[in-house]
Structure 1
Amino acid sequence: MSIRIAMMGAGLALALAQAPALAKVTAKEAAELGKSLTPVGAEKAANKDSSIPEWTPAPRHGSLKGEYPSDPEIDGDKPLYTITKANLPQYADKLSEGHKRLLSTYDSYKMNVYPSRRRVSFPDFIYKSTIANAITCELAGIDNPDNCRQGFTFPIPKSGAEIMWNHRVRWRGDGARRYNNQMIVQQTGEYQLTKIIEEVNFYYATTIDPVPLTRSSGLFLKYFSRTVEPPRLAGTMILVHEKAGSGSEGRAAWLYSPGLKRIRRAPTVCCDNPYEGTDGHQFYDQVDMFNGVLERYDWKLVGKKELIIPYNSNRIGSPAVKFKAMARPRHLNQDLPRYELHRVWVVEASIRPGTNHTFNKRRLYLDEDSWYPAQIDNYDNRGGLYQFQEGHTVFAPSVQSVGGIPEVIYHFTSGRYFLTAMANEDKPNDFTARFPDDYFEAAAVQKRSLK
Structure 2
Amino acid sequence: MTLRRLTIALAAGAAWALSAPTMAAVSQEEANKLGTELTPVGANPKGNEDGTIPEWNPTTMKGDKTGEYPSHPEIDADEPRFVITAANMDQYADKLSEGHKLLLERYPDSYKMKIYPSHRIVTWPEEILAATKRNATSCEFRGPDDITNCEVGFPFPIPQTGAEVIWNHKLKWRGNNARRYNNQMIVQQNGDYQFTKIVEDVTFSYANMNDPVPIKDGQGEYLRYLSETVAPVRLAGTFILVHEKVGTGEAGRRAWLYSPGLRRIRRAPSVCCDNPYEGTDGHQFYDQVDMFNGVLERFNWKLLGKKEMFIPYNSHKIAGPPTKYADLAQPRHLNQDLPRYELHRVWVVEAENKPDLRHTFGKKVLYVDEDSWNIVMIDNYDHRGEMMQFQEGHYFISRNILAGATSPEVIYHLNTGRYFLTALAQEDQPIDSTVTYDDGYFTAAAVQRKTSR
| Structure 1 counterpart of 2:127 | 125
Aligned length: 434
| Structure 2 counterpart of 1:196 | 198
Alignment of 1:219-258 (within 5 A): 219-258=221-260
SS in 2 for 1:74: helix
Alignment of 1:230-309 (within 5 A): 230-309=232-311
SS in 2 for 1:161: helix
Aligned-partner residue type, residue 74 of structure 2: E
| Structure 1 counterpart of 2:333 | 331
Is residue 200–residue 434 contact of structure 1 (8 Å, CA) maintained in 2?
A: no
SS in 2 for 1:189: coil
Aligned-partner residue type, residue 68 of structure 2: E
Aligned-partner residue type, residue 43 of structure 2: A
Alignment of 1:167-178 (within 5 A): 167-178=169-180
Task: Pick one of 373, 376, 386 that aligns with 2:375.
Answer: 373
Distance in 2 separating the partners of 1:438 and 1:96: 44
| Structure 2 counterpart of 1:433 | 435
Shift of 1:63: 0.8
Aligned-partner residue type, residue 233 of structure 1: L
Q: Structure 2 unaligned segments of length 5 or more: list them.
A: 1-18
Is residue 23–residue 141 contact of structure 2 (8 Å, CA) maintained in 1?
A: no
Distance in 2 separating the partners of 1:331 and 1:44: 34
Aligned-partner residue type, residue 304 of structure 1: K
Distance in 2 separating the partners of 1:438 and 1:323: 35
Distance in 2 separating the partners of 1:328 and 1:113: 20
| Structure 2 counterpart of 1:356 | 358
Distance in 1 separating the partners of 2:244 and 2:58: 30
- Of 250-259 and 311-320, more deviation after overlay is shown by 311-320
SS in 1 for 2:440: helix
Q: For residues 155-203 of structure 1, give each alpha carbon's deviation from its aligned partner in whole angstroms, at most 9, with x where no partner exists.
A: 0000001111000010000000011111000000000000000000011
Shift of 1:136: 0.3
SS in 2 for 1:392: strand
Distance in 2 separating the partners of 1:173 and 1:212: 16
Give me the identity figure in percent.
62
| Structure 1 counterpart of 2:319 | 317
Shift of 1:209: 1.4
Is residue 218–residue 247 contact of structure 2 (8 Å, CA) maintained in 1?
A: no
Distance in 2 separating the partners of 1:140 and 1:110: 43
Shift of 1:50: 1.4
Distance in 1 separating the partners of 2:66 and 2:442: 22
| Structure 1 counterpart of 2:5 | none
Distance in 2 separating the partners of 1:270 and 1:300: 22
| Structure 1 counterpart of 2:78 | 77
Please say if 1:142 is aligned against 2:144.
yes
Aligned-partner residue type, residue 41 of structure 1: G
Q: Structure 1 unaligned segments of length 5 or more: list them.
A: 1-17
Cα 1:216–1:410, aligned 2, differ >3 Å: closer, same or farther?
A: closer
| Structure 1 counterpart of 2:26 | 25
SS in 1 for 2:30: helix
Aligned-partner residue type, residue 422 of structure 2: T
Distance in 2 separating the partners of 1:35 and 1:392: 29
Shift of 1:216: 4.6
SS in 1 for 2:129: helix
Distance in 1 separating the partners of 2:199 and 2:188: 24
SS in 1 for 2:131: helix
Shift of 1:424: 1.2
Q: For residues 400-424 of structure 1, give each alpha carbon's deviation from its aligned partner in whole angstroms, at most 9, with x where no partner exists.
A: 1111011000000000000000111
Is residue 160–residue 301 contact of structure 1 (8 Å, CA) maintained in 2?
A: yes
Aligned-partner residue type, residue 65 of structure 1: T
| Structure 1 counterpart of 2:39 | 38
Alignment of 1:161-172 (within 5 A): 161-172=163-174
What is the CA RMSD across the aligned residues, in angstroms?
Answer: 1.0
Q: For residues 200-245 of structure 1, give each alpha carbon's deviation from its aligned partner in whole angstroms, at most 9, with x where no partner exists.
A: 0011001121010111521000000000000000000000000000
Distance in 2 separating the partners of 1:116 and 1:222: 35
Aligned-partner residue type, residue 197 of structure 2: K
Distance in 2 separating the partners of 1:214 and 1:124: 23
Distance in 1 separating the partners of 2:103 and 2:194: 22
TM-score by length of 1: 0.95
Distance in 2 separating the partners of 1:324 and 1:75: 21
Distance in 2 separating the partners of 1:214 and 1:21: 15
Shift of 1:22: 3.5
Distance in 2 separating the partners of 1:348 and 1:185: 28
Please say if 1:403 is aligned against 2:405.
yes
Aligned-partner residue type, residue 200 of structure 1: V
Aligned-partner residue type, residue 432 of structure 1: T
| Structure 1 counterpart of 2:53 | 52
Q: For residues 354-380 of structure 1, give each alpha carbon's deviation from its aligned partner in whole angstroms, at most 9, with x where no partner exists.
A: 110000100000000000000000000
Distance in 2 separating the partners of 1:419 and 1:22: 37
Is residue 19–residue 140 contact of structure 1 (8 Å, CA) maintained in 2?
A: no
Q: For residues 49-78 of structure 1, give each alpha carbon's deviation from its aligned partner in whole angstroms, at most 9, with x where no partner exists.
A: 111100000001111100000001100000
Aligned-partner residue type, residue 306 of structure 1: E
